[in-house]
């Protein structure tokens, strides 16, 4: 039996088939992202959910549905199987007693970007890539640097100067070539694009959705949610959306599980959550458009979702349409207040992006879009510890001989 049942790559827009056995970027016909396809009939006869239950608690337990062919090519730091926690007190407060949080803060590198990096780096190395480059808002660059180091690859990372500082340090610690640009991720993207073009194939472009396997790592969040709920799905999943890879991935995973016959019933309604300072998907959704337009002056404290024009916008909007989902924007003030509310009521120090998804859950409950008895999953995509500046501290400094009463 094969370790992976990957069969080919297919363009997400025009359907053109591409060879999965060499490094690939965008569709050569239309320039859109490529999606990995599997021989699901073979998976279905080779594997059952019961077999999975005996495997190690990391995302490689789903290896038949992942692209790495040789188990020896797997680069892992133990990522995956993050907790799916009840949020009873906070849930009661916002009128959603069945609220759950999938906590991606508890994963190597401190954000769910580790999933995409583990699978993307493993497959790139398996296909012979030696050096990669990418623009990033911080967390992806940190994750690909660290996983790249473990796989023996070299990386060139370009990030905005105001990206979370810890992510720079993760890059430097792992020996990466790091550059800071006084601009947005889109500016970093142009610089990386030119480097790759000038390298004559020596540097692999690992930008978001410009290679097909990061999404495969991120889709495991969707498989895990189904497995953790006993091969059932929740009513609603809220996801803080930047490039949208996680949302597209969760949608893809649930489609694959449905085709395998492991889940049934209507799909969870997917919600793309953005910040009001950068909400191209929300604007396109509200206007009924199939693609987004670049957002001018993008700005939010939730740095991971500060993406002015996601390459996979049409796939995000399609996922929302196919699941009867929606798109919601929240202000920085709302998400920062929510971050403290979640920590105060639940003891969970979530990242600003995760806090945005909680704020959106509150709004959608208030508007009636989510019903009081529905089961709702919020993705907290990273650890609050990675963003020490989001909570100001004005604690009094005591003299050493002070007494408190």
Q: Which residues of the chain form contacts with ligand PLP (CB under 6 A)?
A: 111, 113, 139-140, 208, 240-246, 304-305, 351, 353, 381-382
Q: Which is nearer to ligand PLP, 240 or 325 (CB)?
A: 240
Q: Closest separation between CB of residue 166 and ligand PLP, Å? A: 12
Of residues 8 and 89, the one with the C-beta less far from Zn ion: 8
Bridge partners of 187, per DSSP, are: none
- In the list Zn ion, ligand PLP, none, the entry touching 353 (Cβ below 5 to 8 angstroms by class) is ligand PLP
CB of 35 to ligand PLP, least distance (A): 15
Q: Which is nearer to ligand PLP, 204 or 239 (CB)?
A: 239
Contacts (Cβ under 8 Å, ≥6 apart) of 161: 180, 181, 182
Is residue 8 at the binding interface for Zn ion, with CB under 5 A as the rule?
Answer: no
Measured from the CB atom, the residue of 33 and 105 that comes closer to Zn ion is: 33
Nearest distance in Å: CB 292, ligand PLP: 13
Q: For residues 140 and 315, which CB has a smaller minimum distance to ligand PLP in the complex?
A: 140
Residue 182: exposure state from Cβ atoms within 10 A (0-12, 13-18, ≥19): exposed
Q: Any idea which residue has 């959106």 for tokens?
A: 360
Contact 317, 300 (CB under 8 A): no
**327 contacts Zn ion (rule: CB under 5 A):** no
Indicate whether 172 belongs to the interface with Zn ion (CB under 5 A): no
Binds 243, which of Zn ion, ligand PLP, none (CB < 5 to 8 A, cut-off by type)? ligand PLP
- Per the rule left: phi > 0, alpha: psi between -120 and 50, beta: everything else, 323 is alpha
If one asks whether residue 14 binds Zn ion (CB under 5 A), the answer comes out as yes
Contact 63, 308 (CB under 8 A): no
Q: How many CB atoms lie within 10 A of CB 47?
A: 18
Does residue number 9 form part of the binding site for Zn ion (CB under 5 A)?
no
Residue 11 binds to Zn ion (criterion: CB under 5 A): yes
Q: How many CB atoms lie within 10 A of CB 92?
A: 12
109 binds, among ligand PLP, Zn ion, none (CB under 5 to 8 A by kind): none
Residue 27 sits in the site that holds Zn ion (CB under 5 A): yes
Nearest Cα to Cα of residue 271 among 317, 322, 325: 325
* Residue 16 partner contact from Zn ion, ligand PLP, none using kind-dependent CB cut-offs of 5 to 8 Å: Zn ion
Contact 119, 90 (CB under 8 A): no
> Considering beta carbons, is residue 67 or 352 the nearer one to ligand PLP?
352
Give the 3-state DSSP-derived string for 235-273, with helices as H, strands as E and coil as C.
CEEEEECCCCHHHHHHHHHHHHHHHHCCCCCCCCEEEEE
381's contact among ligand PLP, Zn ion, none, with CB below 5 to 8 A by partner kind, is: ligand PLP
| Strands 34-38 vs 84-86: parallel, antiparallel or unpaired | unpaired
Which residues of the shown chain bind Zn ion in the complex (CB under 5 A)?
11, 13-14, 16, 27, 29-30, 32
């Amino acid at each position: 039996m094969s370790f992976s049942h990957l069969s080919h790559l297919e363009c997400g827009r025009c359907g053109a088939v591409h060879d999965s056995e060499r490094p690939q970027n965008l569709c050569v016909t239309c320039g859109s992202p490529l999606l990995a396809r599997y021989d699901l009939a073979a998976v279905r006869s080779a594997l059952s959910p019961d077999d999975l239950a005996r495997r190690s608690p990391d995302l490689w337990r789903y290896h038949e549905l992942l692209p790495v062919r040789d188990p020896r090519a797997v680069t892992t730091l133990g990522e995956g199987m993050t907790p799916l926690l009840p949020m009873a007190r906070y849930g009661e407060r916002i009128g959603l007693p069945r609220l759950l949080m999938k906590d991606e803060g508890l994963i190597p590198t401190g954000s769910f970007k580790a999933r995409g990096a583990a699978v993307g780096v493993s497959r790139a190395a398996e296909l012979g890539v030696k050096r990669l480059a990418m623009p990033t808002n911080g967390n992806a660059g940190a994750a690909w640097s660290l996983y790249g180091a473990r796989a023996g690859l070299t990386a060139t990372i370009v990030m905005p100067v105001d990206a979370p500082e810890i992510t720079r340090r993760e890059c430097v610690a792992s020996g990466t070539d790091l550059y800071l640009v006084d601009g947005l991720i889109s500016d970093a993207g142009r610089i990386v694009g030119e480097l790759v073009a000038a390298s004559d194939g020596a540097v692999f472009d690992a930008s978001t959705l410009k290679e097909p396997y990061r999404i495969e790592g991120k889709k495991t969040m969707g498989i895990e949610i189904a497995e953790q709920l006993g091969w059932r799905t929740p009513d609603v999943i809220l996801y803080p959306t930047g490039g949208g890879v996680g949302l597209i991935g969760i949608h893809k995973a649930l489609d694959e599980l449905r085709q395998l016959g492991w889940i049934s019933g209507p799909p969870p309604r997917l919600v793309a959550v953005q910040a009001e300072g950068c909400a191209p998907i929300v604007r396109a959704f509200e206007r009924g458009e199939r693609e987004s337009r670049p957002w001018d002056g993008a700005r939010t404290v939730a740095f991971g979702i500060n993406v002015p024009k996601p390459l996979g916008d049409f796939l995000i909007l399609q996922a929302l349409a196919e699941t009867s989902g929606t798109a919601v924007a929240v202000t920085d003030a709302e998400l920062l207040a929510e971050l403290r509310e979640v920590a105060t009521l639940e003891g969970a120090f979530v990242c600003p992006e995760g806090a945005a998804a909680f704020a959106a859950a509150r709004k959608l409950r208030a508007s009636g879009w989510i019903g009081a008895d529905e089961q709702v999953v919020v993705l907290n995509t990273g650890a609050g510890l990675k963003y020490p500046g989001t909570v100001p501290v004005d604690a009094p400094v005591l003299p050493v001989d002070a007494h408190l009463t």
